[in-house]
Amino acid sequence: MGVSTLLPRSRFRVQLTHASTEKQPHKDGKPFSEYLKEKCPRLADPEKAFYFPPWYMPNGDMQTIYLYTQHYKPAGCPIDYERQIFEFSDGGKAAADWALPRRSAAPDAPLIILVPGIAGTSYDYYARSFIHCVNQQSLGYQVVVLQSRGCNGVSLVTPKAFHGGMTSDLREFVEHIAETMPGIPLIGLGFSLGANILAKYIGEEGDGCRFIAAASVCNPYDIDMTVSSMCMPSLKNRYLYAAALTRSLVSLFTNNQKIIMAGGVELDASRITASRNINEFNEEYTIKVFGVSSVKELNRSGSCTLFLKHIQIPMLFINALDDPMCYRETIPYGEFESNPNLIHASTRYGGHLAFFEGTYLSPWLPNQLAQFIQAMVEWNQATGHVGSAASAHLKESPQSQIQATLTSSIVA
């Protein structure tokens, strides 16, 4: 007997936070939140929107740890990708993995641009389970996973890797897609740190954003508070979450040390590799390479909370309140209540990017995201709203210099 059978049903209801219905955008006389209630009942209908964690895996730590054991186990949701090596205007490169099958028979099929978490890849379970869900439901969408520089087998070619508020790479990629695939609806989907980058980018773009809609999952919102909490000297941070994230960053440095150290910025390799937490790594590497005055400023300026008020497209945010990596204290409820384009959904359980349910640990999250995206595609078709400015003239940009080359398929 587990937590879901002992506690009242109301404890497992998905809680929504949004602006008043009078302020929300409307379709067929229905406000945004009412439209989602009809189209996404397990997310937005108070009578049906519940998330029950597995009885034997009720807390966020257990779910999060289990999720990370699944990242390199393709059984259940095997996904094939076609890899694109994308070159940015400064010469840097990153992998954009296109999920197969590509929907070449429908050139106007919506394209979902997925931004993974810190050092995340297209192999990660949350990415594969979502794409598997989209394929199983035959929704006809295209999905591309844009990974950060230096990740998933693509070495750095410049000293700069990435940081939590770096939106320039996403901007260049979206502009390239908008120019090479004009007229197709674009949807953004971000996870963890990728959710912060996505939301910050959309806020920066304002009414010129090329996405028609977007979704954010387990967003940290306030990077300084999140990272500072993860740097506290607890056993959990020392041996689990902060330690794992720091190791991934240090590995990125050591795997690319030659090109980084040749970049003309004075760095101490021994101090970088000895970093015990994310702030120490950012102090020794990130702020120096990116020319930021301090780690505090890097975290502050990179937090998406500052930009939520400027988002002009429908955007869904999902957080679990027991997330052990992105804390409930960082959720900016006031921003969701004041910006009519935003809806926040919170679950009491679910961990970090996990959200498993049932005896066999089925993923709850992919279906909710797929339903939301389908609802937004229909909303866009009905209202004629183009948040991505796709019908407007293309922005002047340096993207004509961007090169993209295809390499062989990979299997995740």
Q: Is the pLDDT of residue 404 over 50?
A: no
Q: Is the pLDDT of residue 400 over 80?
A: no
18 catalytic residue (yes or no): no
Give the span between the Cα atoms of 147 and 144, in whole angstroms. Answer: 9
Give the span between the Cα atoms of 266 and 284, in whole angstroms. Answer: 10
Place of tokens 């922005």: 395
Beta strands in 26-78 (DSSP E): 26-27, 30-31
pLDDT score of 409: 43
192 catalytic residue (yes or no): yes
Give the span between the Cα atoms of 410 and 412, in whole angstroms. Answer: 7
Give the span between the Cα atoms of 15 and 268, in whole angstroms. Answer: 47
* Least reliable range by pLDDT among 34-43, 66-75, 130-139, 155-164: 66-75
Cα 394 to its chain centre, rounded Å, is 25
The tens digit of pLDDT for each residue in 48-97 reads 999 999 999 989 999 999 999 998 777 678 899 999 999 999 999 999 99
Tell me the angle at which helices 32-39 and 365-383 cross, rounded to the nearest 10 degrees. 130
User: Residues in the chain, how many?
Assistant: 412
Q: Is the pLDDT of residue 222 over 90?
A: yes
Please say whether the beta carbons of 353 and 67 come within 8 A: yes
Fold of 3-222+303-411: Rossmann fold (3.40.50)
Cis peptide preceding 101, ω within 30 of 0: yes
Both tokens assigned to 129: 């389970």
pLDDT score of 103: 64
Place of tokens 């087998």: 153
Mean pLDDT score of the chain: 90
pLDDT score of 3: 56
Who's near 50: CB < 8 A, 6+ residues apart?
9, 12, 13, 14, 42
> Which candidate in 18, 148, 352, 388 is catalytic?
352
Give the span between the Cα atoms of 279 and 2, in whole angstroms. Answer: 38
> Which candidate in 192, 229, 275, 303 is catalytic?
192
Q: pTM for this structure?
A: 0.92
> Which candidate in 148, 303, 323, 344 is catalytic?
323
Under the banding of pLDDT at 50, 70 and 90, the label for residue 108 is confident
The tens digit of pLDDT for each residue in 109-125 reads 899 999 999 999 999 99
Give start-end residues of each CATH 3.40.50.1820 domain in the chain.
3-222+303-411
Q: Is the pLDDT of residue 386 over 60?
A: no
pLDDT score of 155: 97
pLDDT score of 28: 84
Who's near 231: CB < 8 A, 6+ residues apart?
237, 242, 277, 278, 279
The tens digit of pLDDT for each residue in 336-370 reads 999 999 999 999 999 999 999 999 999 999 999 99
28 catalytic residue (yes or no): no
